[in-house]
Amino acid sequence: MQYFVTAEWIDPMGNIPSAPKDFAQVIDQAVVPSMEALAKLAAEKKILAGGVLSGSRAISFVVEASSNDEATELVQGVPFWIFMKWKVTPLESFQHHSAFARQASQSLNAASQ
């Protein structure tokens, strides 16, 4: 199954550091390890495409997972998980939806005859 994942940086504890040294610590301890973890998942073909949304503190990607549970575990395994607001949406394949739409059209046409 494929999932479309988006995440936006939030401040869950209301204390994003304002001092440059403290903010650098957040970058070193959360942002960089998270980007490295996501790059590793991409190399392992768990993330099929994605990246950082230019000019923002948000990311988006498509993940391959065998279940909702696996998708949840993958997302929650990213180091900056707690600092992000996540949305994970299952994707329906184009092939499946095409077949479904064709069936719906045939049913509607048959009903109107």
Helices (H), 4-67: 20-26, 32-43
Among residues 54, 73, 55, the alpha carbon closest in space to that of 5 is found at: 73
| Cα–Cα dist 113/108, whole Å | 9
CATH number for the segment(s) 2-111: 3.30.70.1060
pLDDT digits (tens, 9 = 90+) for 50-63: 999 999 999 999 99
Q: Where do the domains of the chain lie?
A: 2-111
pLDDT digits (tens, 9 = 90+) for 64-107: 999 999 999 999 999 999 889 999 999 999 999 899 999 999 99
| Cα–Cα dist 84/63, whole Å | 17
